[in-house]
Amino acid sequence: MSFIEESLSSGEEIVALFKLHWFSRIPLLTWLVLGLVTFGVTWLVALYEFLRLRAIEQGVTNKRVIFKTGIIGRKSEEMKLTSIETVEIDQSVMGRMFNFGDVKITGRGISDLVFKRISDPISVKRKTERIRHPVP
């Protein structure tokens, strides 16, 4: 069971889970290829990178936005939907070409939550704003 599923409160439902773009796995592939040259020495780094990527959970429920990281330890960032002020997209040229980017959700005060290298950032922005301001 995922962290997001475990942390649901009563009446809370998962609306969308957001996945990392395949570009975020390039460092993992690089470490794997380098392992062939270094006789497997860098495969430990590749294993760590694999576990790090698997431990990332990003999603939105009908009450909050959630970002969780951590392999053994856990760090979660959450923001109530009522606290969201803006949802911004940051895409490079490569991001535009391959449809990935960062989505920054800014809340009241100085709080913000960033989904990095996320697949289809426009869709993530739309889903978050649609939940925040439902259309009747």
- pLDDT for 98-130, tens place per residue? 999 999 999 987 789 999 999 999 999 999 988
Tell me if 64 is assigned to some domain: yes
pLDDT at res. 108: 86
Residue 15: band (very low, low, confident or very high) from pLDDT cuts 50, 70, 90: very high
pTM of the model: 0.85
| pLDDT > 70? residue 135 | no
Tell me if 6 is assigned to some domain: no
Tell me if 2 is assigned to some domain: no
pLDDT at res. 109: 77
CATH code of the domain containing 36: 2.30.29.30
Distances from the Cα of 129 to the Cα of 41, 60, 85, angstroms = 45, 11, 10
Q: What is the mean pLDDT of residues 15-19?
A: 94
Q: Range of 59's domain? A: 13-132
How much is the mean pLDDT over the chain?
91
Number of domains in the chain: 1
- Pick the closest to residue 85 from 45, 51, 132, 118 (CA basis): 132
